[in-house]
Amino acid sequence: MAAQTQSNRANEISQQTIDAYRRDGFVRVNGIISKQEAAEYRQAAIAAAAANKSNTVGDIFTQHVNIWRVDEAMRRLTFHPNVTAVARKLAEVPLRLWHDQILIKKPHNNTPTEFHQDQPYWPHNNSTHPISIWIALCDVPPERGCMTFIPGFHNRNDLAAQDLGDARSMFEMCPEMQWESRVTVPLRAGDCTFHHGRCPHQANANSTDEPRVAHAVIFVDASTTYSGTKHIVTDPLGMKAGAVLDGELFPIVGE
Ligand code: SIN
Ligand code: NI
């Protein structure tokens, strides 16, 4: 594994970038890891995906949740100093890890990830600054399944969980979103986006011969409490509703 990127990307994040994140609910950051790191983590992600239990969401994608718990290389990526420091800088509040996941769209999966917000799926209270990084571990042009965002809607905290497989779901819940501008963000390997947990987003289908390999890491406010609703990460933990989401699964990051 190559030495980690030397430059501290958090020092290069300008106030303008922070303001854009606050306004739009997402921002692109190129070169969060180097090209060499991206190539090595792509191999690590493919090996970890083959060796570990996965959750397949229809034809949409295969996800490997909390891969940092079982794979040393992916753990290094999840806690990469650029990842945690830039997330902390953009969120502007103390953060803890919620979970990570390798997200693979198979070649020719022909199925987009439809528009949704992430936070309605999560069993959280008191989390107002949830932030996810989505790192491209291969080049991800639109036709391989890059992300598209609807800027400025991360203040909508009143919507129920949308259906990832239904292109109408988001717009039936929030018709005024339908005619807003959308921003599609093709990424080179090593580039990433950060998005707020309520920023509406989707990802295209993969119509290429290569798998689309991405790694997502999700952070939430350090003060987040457990709401008591079902979720794959918290179900085995026997937590009480109202408890702070702490413990070894949810470490504080980027202090
Ligand atoms: C995807 O990678 O297809 C979707 C990721 C996301 O919804 O955050
Ligand atoms: Ni999402």
- Alpha carbon distance 137, 145 (integer Å): 12
77 lines ligand 1 (CB under 6 A): no
User: Tokens 């239904």, residue?
Assistant: 166
pLDDT of residue 150: 98
* 3-state SS assignment for residue 187: strand
Instruction: Please report which ligand is nearest the Cα atom of 122.
Output: 2
Look at strands 131-136 and 201-203 and give their pairing.
unpaired
Atom of ligand 1 nearest to the CA of 212: 2
First to last CA, the chain: 25
Tell me the torsion sign for CA atoms 183, 41, 216, 53.
positive
Calculate helix-pair angle for 15-24, 81-91, nearest 10 degrees. Answer: 70
Nearest to 118 by CA among 185, 216, 210, 1: 216
CA–CA gap between residue 103 and residue 74 (Å, rounded): 12
Q: Is residue 214 within 6 Å of ligand 1 at its C-beta?
A: yes
Closest by Cα among 28, 81, 9, 63 to 187? 28
CB of 203 closer than 6 angstroms to any ligand 1 atom: yes
Give 116 Cα–ligand 2 centroid separation in angstroms.
Answer: 6
Testing ligand 1's pocket by substitution, the residue of 104, 105, 134, 198 carrying the most ligand atoms inside 8 A of its CB is 134
C-alpha of residue 16 to centroid of ligand 1, in Å: 26
Number of residues assigned to the chain: 255
Tokens of 38: 């991206």
Note down pLDDT in tens along the chain; length 255 residues. Answer: 655 655 788 888 999 999 999 999 999 999 999 999 999 999 999 999 999 888 888 899 999 999 999 999 999 999 999 999 999 999 999 999 999 999 999 999 999 999 999 999 999 999 999 999 999 999 999 999 999 999 999 999 999 999 999 999 999 999 999 999 999 999 999 999 999 999 999 999 999 999 999 999 999 999 999 999 999 999 999 999 999 999 999 999 987
pTM, full prediction: 0.97
Q: Which CATH class is domain 25-247?
A: mainly beta
Query: What pLDDT score was predicted for residue 2?
Result: 58
